[in-house]
Structure 1
Amino acid sequence: MKHVLVQALTDDLPKISLALAEVGVFDPDVRSVGKDHFPTVPGDHYRELFKQAQSRMDKISRLLPMPEKPQLSSVRVVDETELERLNAWLGDIWATASSYEERFRRLSESERVINLREDTLENFANLRVDLGLLHSDSRFLSLFVGTVPSANAQQLEEALGLAGHMMYAFREGTGTTSVIIVGQRNEQQLDELNSVLQAASFQPLVIPQDLRSQPQKIREEIQSQRTKLTEERQQAQSQLENWAASLQRELVDAQRTLILAEPFVLMDTSMRSAGSLGTVTGWVPARSVKKLEANITQKVSNPFLFTVRDPTREEVSFVPSLMQPNAALAPYQDVIKQYGVPRYGEVDPSWLFAVTFVFMFGAMFGDVGQGGVITALALLFRKSLGHFVKLAVPMGMSSIFFGFMYGSVFGYEDVLIHHIWVSPLHHPEYMLVVGVFWGVSFITMASALSVYNHFIANEPMEAVLGHHGIMSIVLYLSVMWGLVQVAMGGGFGWIPTIFTVLSISAISAHAWHEMHDSPIIERVMVVAIGAMEIFMGYISNTLSFLRVAAFSVNHSALALAVFAIANSLDTTGHWISIVLGNIFIMVLEGSIVGIQTLRLEYYEGFSRYYSGDGREYEPITLNIKASDDATMESAATLKA
């Protein structure tokens, strides 16, 4: 990645921004480089016009059909006068479009009211009376309309009969009954009647004021209103489409104008000026520098100065980075980016993450049958999963592979097939040892990548003597070597002892030197605590990988629990339990294993060698196709 500085006449800056966007490899440096000599950011009013015009275009495009990205017949500079005229014209178009939007909003509100009225009418569909008579009590009759729990309906009817009232059920719902209660009006019995209704959990049902006739007549009225509303909507839609068709060419031209104006706006503070002189600064992949300079030379007739240099050590955190575009690794890169974007110069972790993630998932969830189900479901729903099918299928295949290694098929271990390697349920101690050795291998790989990253960043002392440097790796491996010998019945060994002492001495001496201005007591404590932190950190991180073994054993244990339940049932219940148990294991344990695998990748791997605080490479382009081509071209030389 190279830092590019273009110095030219201020009047040529719009042409230069278009030339940069046309190639599609220039990522603006917005740090305001050289603001002391070039204090002005040109085009403030131009940017305001563009933002307003683009906002109006976005709102119009939500209402009128337009192509997402029209092709450009030619590349030209859009001056401020043209942009101002376009903004005013879009304002007029939006004023008309918004009237259609308001018209459709009113129609939708009318439709909502009709639907609400129809839903309310359904509560009284079985009544064959004028609903207007039910709005209030008459002079001689008490009327109650409402719902009561179905379980209480019969008791309420009997109680009301004793009070001289009749109850008529006109609709049965889910657990409730809609009723009408009618009886002779008696003010003295009103409190007693209300107590009976309250005891039966009676809920009044409000009859809207606009329901004042027979239900069938109201239904016909609603249908007439709905038909009229549909016709009005179709008429409005037809008028809108005709109006949109008459504007199609002008709107497409407006889109093209905004596309051509956008590069100058996106340059933001990377473009500065002082009087008649201006500058543009940004980042360009090394192999695209000559192509970019040639395009500017072709587009700009006046003299300009094109300066290229390597990024300085202080600028590394500002240099954009890009993961190598790879269709097979796309879903893994999406997961990696949840942790963060790689810093420029760091190792791209895509391949290592993909291989180790799939490997650990299979090791913890090894089952031929369940892995086959995961693979089949991923392929069946591949359209819904998108590129994540490339993550789900390998996970299922890894589960199948380790299923053969463990001899497990739908939880049946060493029953349907015999294990090729080991049965986790019958050899849990062996699996724990395997988990530790895998942890040592994984942590060593991650620490080695950390060493590489520090050397690339020109930090040799951190690469050798840092927390994840060469001496820390030597200390870790020598201690693990000695512990293995102790576990095998021998002593710690003099070779591991020598390497342990030398590595601790080197790390402590470096820490001591770094604190040469501090008091002796403070230096002693910091050095001792630092060495202990490194040692305990590596050991605790290694023990985290015991979960790889633990979940492989847990998988078999869950299957045993399912079989224990199934064996206590008859034949039908047995197989239903087997099927439901396997579904439970795949959903619950599969999710947990995926989360635990990701945790190991993030906290035991990325925390060592992957900063995740980089800035993503986002070149300015004129259209999508140019952006994709340029990205693929520049990716070959970009080291994320």
Structure 2
Amino acid sequence: MFRPQVMSKVELVVPEHDVVPVTQVLAASGVFQPTPSVHLGSGRLSRSAEDWRRRATTFADLERRILAVMEALEVDEGPPPAEPPQLIEPETAQMDIDRLEWEAGAPVRELEEGRRKLAQLQRYLSQLEPIADLEVDLDTLRNLRYTFVLPGTMPAANLERLQTSLELIPSVLVTLRREDHLATVVLFGAQRDADILNRAARSAYLNPLELPEEYRGTPAEAIAALESDIKRARQYVAECQTTVDYLHEVRVHSLRHLLWRVRASRTLAETIARYGRLRYTYLVAGWVPTSRVNMLRREVKRISDDVLIEVDTPARQEDGHVPVALENPPIVRAFQSLVTNYGHPRYGELDPTPMMALTFPLIFGIMFGDVGHGLLLALLGLLLVSRKVRALRGLSGLGAVVIACGVTAMIFGFLYGSAFGSEEILEPLWIRPLQDVMDILLAAVGIGVGLLNLGMICNLVNAVLTRRWGYLLFDHNGLAGMIFYWSLLGLVAGAFVEGLPIGPIPLAALAAVSGLAVTFSEVLEHLVEGRRPLVEGGLGSYLVQTPIELFEVVISFLSNTLSYVRMGAFAVAHGALSMVVFIVAEIISPAHGVGYWIVVVLGNLFVIGFEGMIVSIQTLRLEYYEFFSKFFSGGGMRYRPLTLVSRGGE
């Protein structure tokens, strides 16, 4: 649980005639991650790598065409099939897609054309409705020779400005209708002044109305004809939609089935194209969890006894290229996504997921301690895990995280004596953050010191696992760094507390010795590990950099430690914000009537949503920037086993 799965490097020599079934078995096993193999020869093949690449390109084009038909018929991809789909030849898929495109093409085009026609008619109607009361033939307005006419809509506030700007130009501005902030107007003038009148209208944000050429008579008569045409257009669109819906129902399963077959065939072709080549065989290389190697060997041998399989353990210098397969129990696995958002551990290092599962709810609970609020969060987590609400199914993976945070918030709620923001219901088992501010802040710093040391211990374990003995002894997050950090803590504590078991002189000596070790850690690490040169980049620049780096280490220790003060600060803020809710409720309804309880309920929901989000962000920040920085840098390669039914975006 605390380390990624042990991986084995598997190499297979596959006869040419077995390459397809063997690849299908590797994909169906769900444990084989292929790696590009070296080009081993130039022998002639019945299907060379170029042939497989061409097949993959053909399948990709066919997949694009299937998705276009599915989009037109409003068919989604659906879930991946439970069993690997059968492969398909490009020619067969081509014929199936041609038939589907022919079936769907005409109805979809007719539906789109009908919708465009309906939208155009509705646009015409919206243009004519503002001038429905105008008793003038539309042809007359279109064909005036000497008179300029511009019907349109404009902001009512600009009417006076437009009239003022046209005082010196012979014109008339008639307001037909005025609703709210919009006015329907007609601007009359002489054709010789058309340019001036158009500029003035644009400056006043007058929106011209387009008069459709297809309709005659007065605006009211044209509107009546338009409404009749719109009714017929809607009926036509409904008939076309019925045809498309029928095609959707009868072709949904065949489209999905064909999509997954083509997608599986494309993935297989792309995979085989990356295999190495001998004259009559393929060389297949990849990574498999060691615990699953025997199972994979049996499955491959069941397909062909002619396949040669060689299994090897990765060399230490290969660790950066070995994929990382994390293996955690379900209750811990929920926190895995929070870790992988930061990065994947390197092969052979500690998996930080168990530490995240321990520390994340702890930090969240300290900052969000409230029995009632924690209970609601836990219930929300149970709802997410149940997947009963369709809109929340995408968050189901975080359900266990929310439950854990809710439970720790309840525990600290009992410790703080807080329930739904009220401190009058429960007696605190420990302290009240609002009344004991310094105590909660000092406790937060103490917990932060413990978490930082846990991070340093994890760093020591990583150094042992990777056999970096110099790094283990002298790095600023190694043994020397821990001694330096504790010495500084002891000196600071001695300035405020009397009677420490270790006096200031031994602490100062420890700080000096460990500080020197951290200062010259690069030289000492290279010396212990036998690496040369001892100093990279020149002795002069190294001597200039080392004091600066030591100062940076001290500042880092200080900032990392003080960052955990925010845990206590947010515990105080949580109590203060909850108190404000009750103060506002008391102001609204001193008699504790309905208004009082409405404010209390809404206020508590606001605190849970708003502060819960902020506390979650701050918890992630402490994990990523303070805790993880002590031992975890990411940079590992994600384990992606081969599958033929991955979604298009994967």
2:529 is matched with none
Tell me the amino acid that sits aligned with residue 446 of structure 2: F
Q: Choose which of 592, 609, 612 in structure 1 pairs with 2:634.
A: 612
Instruction: Tell me how far apart the structure 2 counterparts of residues 500 and 319 of structure 1 sit (CA, whole Å).
Output: 39
> Contact conserved, 2:84 with 2:644, CA < 8 A, in 1?
no
2:338 is matched with 335
Instruction: Tell me how far apart the structure 1 counterparts of residues 9 and 236 of structure 2 sit (CA, whole Å).
Output: 65
- For residues 167-206 of structure 1, the aligned pairs below 5 Å read 167=174, 169-170=176-177, 172=179, 175-179=181-185, 202-206=206-210
1:629 is matched with none
For the pair 1:23 / 2:29, whether they are aligned, the reply is yes
Q: Choose which of 284, 290, 294 in structure 1 pairs with 2:294.
A: 290
Instruction: Tell me how far apart the structure 2 counterparts of residues 238 and 400 of structure 1 sit (CA, whole Å).
Output: 54
Instruction: Tell me how far apart the structure 2 counterparts of residues 582 and 201 of structure 1 sit (CA, whole Å).
Output: 47
Tell me the amino acid that sits aligned with residue 298 of structure 1: R
1:4 is matched with 10
> Contact conserved, 2:9 with 2:286, CA < 8 A, in 1?
yes
Alpha-carbon spacing, 1:211–1:566, altered in 2? closer, same or farther (3 Å): farther
> Contact conserved, 1:170 with 1:180, CA < 8 A, in 2?
no
- Secondary structure at the residue paired with 1:7? strand
- Secondary structure at the residue paired with 1:408? coil
Instruction: Tell me how far apart the structure 1 counterparts of residues 282 and 171 of structure 2 sit (CA, whole Å).
Output: 96
For the pair 1:543 / 2:565, whether they are aligned, the reply is no
2:278 is matched with 274
1:457 is matched with 466
2:234 is matched with 226
1:511 is matched with 522
Q: Choose which of 223, 229, 243 in structure 2 pairs with 1:215.
A: 223
Instruction: Tell me how far apart the structure 2 counterparts of residues 95 and 133 of structure 1 sit (CA, whole Å).
Output: 49
1:627 is matched with none
Instruction: Tell me how far apart the structure 2 counterparts of residues 256 and 194 of structure 1 sit (CA, whole Å).
Output: 61
Root mean square deviation of aligned Cα? 4.3
Tell me the amino acid that sits aligned with residue 59 of structure 1: R
Tell me the amino acid that sits aligned with residue 296 of structure 2: L
Question: Can you list the C-alpha shifts for 1:467-494, whole angstroms capped at 9, x where unaligned?
Answer: 3212222222232233223221457534
> Contact conserved, 1:453 with 1:609, CA < 8 A, in 2?
yes
Instruction: Tell me how far apart the structure 1 counterparts of residues 368 and 214 of structure 2 sit (CA, whole Å).
Output: 63
For the pair 1:480 / 2:484, whether they are aligned, the reply is no
> Contact conserved, 1:424 with 1:552, CA < 8 A, in 2?
yes
Instruction: Tell me how far apart the structure 2 counterparts of residues 38 and 457 of structure 1 sit (CA, whole Å).
Output: 40
1:359 is matched with 362
Instruction: Tell me how far apart the structure 2 counterparts of residues 188 and 365 of structure 1 sit (CA, whole Å).
Output: 75
> Contact conserved, 1:367 with 1:402, CA < 8 A, in 2?
yes
Question: Can you list the C-alpha shifts for 1:291-348, whole angstroms capped at 9, x where unaligned?
Answer: 222233332243x432222110111011111222544344422222211122212222
> Contact conserved, 1:405 with 1:422, CA < 8 A, in 2?
yes
- Secondary structure at the residue paired with 2:69? coil
> Contact conserved, 1:435 with 1:549, CA < 8 A, in 2?
yes
Alpha-carbon spacing, 1:230–1:300, altered in 2? closer, same or farther (3 Å): same
Instruction: Tell me how far apart the structure 2 counterparts of residues 406 and 378 of structure 1 sit (CA, whole Å).
Output: 23
Q: Choose which of 297, 300, 303 in structure 1 pairs with 2:304.
A: 300
Alpha-carbon spacing, 1:186–1:522, altered in 2? closer, same or farther (3 Å): closer
1:446 is matched with 455
2:530 is matched with none
> Contact conserved, 1:565 with 1:577, CA < 8 A, in 2?
yes
- Secondary structure at the residue paired with 2:286? strand
> Contact conserved, 1:343 with 1:614, CA < 8 A, in 2?
yes
1:265 is matched with 270
Q: Choose which of 502, 507, 532 in structure 2 pairs with 1:496.
A: 507
- 1:433 deviates by 0.9
- 1:443 deviates by 0.8
For the pair 1:317 / 2:320, whether they are aligned, the reply is yes
For the pair 1:599 / 2:621, whether they are aligned, the reply is yes
Instruction: Tell me how far apart the structure 2 counterparts of residues 586 and 362 of structure 1 sit (CA, whole Å).
Output: 13
Instruction: Tell me how far apart the structure 1 counterparts of residues 215 and 57 of structure 2 sit (CA, whole Å).
Output: 50
> Contact conserved, 1:25 with 1:621, CA < 8 A, in 2?
no
Alpha-carbon spacing, 1:462–1:40, altered in 2? closer, same or farther (3 Å): farther
Alpha-carbon spacing, 1:570–1:313, altered in 2? closer, same or farther (3 Å): same
Tell me the amino acid that sits aligned with residue 294 of structure 1: R
Instruction: Tell me how far apart the structure 2 counterparts of residues 139 and 429 of structure 1 sit (CA, whole Å).
Output: 87
Q: Please, which runs of 5 or more residues in structure 1 have no aligned partner?
A: 625-640
Question: Can you list the C-alpha shifts for 1:422-450, whole angstroms capped at 9, x where unaligned?
Answer: 12222221122112111111111111111
> Contact conserved, 2:55 with 2:266, CA < 8 A, in 1?
no
> Contact conserved, 1:371 with 1:397, CA < 8 A, in 2?
yes
- 1:141 deviates by 7.6
1:386 is matched with 396
> Contact conserved, 1:131 with 1:214, CA < 8 A, in 2?
no
Instruction: Tell me how far apart the structure 2 counterparts of residues 605 and 274 of structure 1 sit (CA, whole Å).
Output: 50
Alpha-carbon spacing, 1:167–1:346, altered in 2? closer, same or farther (3 Å): same
- Secondary structure at the residue paired with 1:487? coil
- 1:601 deviates by 0.6
- Secondary structure at the residue paired with 2:335? helix
Instruction: Tell me how far apart the structure 2 counterparts of residues 334 and 416 of structure 1 sit (CA, whole Å).
Output: 37
454-463 vs 150-159, which moves further? 150-159
For the pair 1:114 / 2:133, whether they are aligned, the reply is no
- 1:217 deviates by 2.3
> Contact conserved, 2:535 with 2:542, CA < 8 A, in 1?
no
Alpha-carbon spacing, 1:165–1:5, altered in 2? closer, same or farther (3 Å): closer
Instruction: Tell me how far apart the structure 1 counterparts of residues 78 and 584 of structure 2 sit (CA, whole Å).
Output: 60
For the pair 1:589 / 2:608, whether they are aligned, the reply is no
1:553 is matched with 572
Instruction: Tell me how far apart the structure 1 counterparts of residues 431 and 137 of structure 2 sit (CA, whole Å).
Output: 77
- 1:618 deviates by 1.6
538-547 vs 506-515, which moves further? 506-515
- 1:142 deviates by 6.8
Instruction: Tell me how far apart the structure 2 counterparts of residues 561 and 130 of structure 1 sit (CA, whole Å).
Output: 65
Instruction: Tell me how far apart the structure 1 counterparts of residues 27 and 328 of structure 2 sit (CA, whole Å).
Output: 20
- 1:2 deviates by 0.8
2:3 is matched with none
Alpha-carbon spacing, 1:223–1:68, altered in 2? closer, same or farther (3 Å): same
- 1:198 deviates by 8.2
Instruction: Tell me how far apart the structure 1 counterparts of residues 64 and 149 of structure 2 sit (CA, whole Å).
Output: 56
Instruction: Tell me how far apart the structure 1 counterparts of residues 202 and 59 of structure 2 sit (CA, whole Å).
Output: 62
Q: Percent identity over the alignment?
A: 26
- Secondary structure at the residue paired with 1:146? strand
Alpha-carbon spacing, 1:569–1:192, altered in 2? closer, same or farther (3 Å): farther
Tell me the amino acid that sits aligned with residue 446 of structure 1: G
Instruction: Tell me how far apart the structure 2 counterparts of residues 468 and 289 of structure 1 sit (CA, whole Å).
Output: 37
- 1:124 deviates by 4.0
Question: Can you list the C-alpha shifts for 1:221-279, whole angstroms capped at 9, x where unaligned?
Answer: 1111221233244346656876x59x949x9589558646744632553x212323542
**Normalised by the size of structure 1, how large is the TM-score?**
0.79
Q: Please, which runs of 5 or more residues in structure 2 have no aligned partner?
A: 1-6, 527-532
1:635 is matched with none
> Contact conserved, 1:362 with 1:399, CA < 8 A, in 2?
yes
Tell me the amino acid that sits aligned with residue 538 of structure 1: F
Q: Choose which of 394, 407, 410 in structure 1 pairs with 2:417.
A: 407
280-289 vs 560-569, which moves further? 560-569
> Contact conserved, 1:512 with 1:523, CA < 8 A, in 2?
no
377-386 vs 587-596, which moves further? 377-386
> Contact conserved, 2:41 with 2:279, CA < 8 A, in 1?
no
> Contact conserved, 2:128 with 2:209, CA < 8 A, in 1?
no
**Normalised by the size of structure 2, how large is the TM-score?**
0.78
How many residue pairs get matched? Answer: 604
- Secondary structure at the residue paired with 1:280? strand
Instruction: Tell me how far apart the structure 1 counterparts of residues 357 and 190 of structure 2 sit (CA, whole Å).
Output: 81
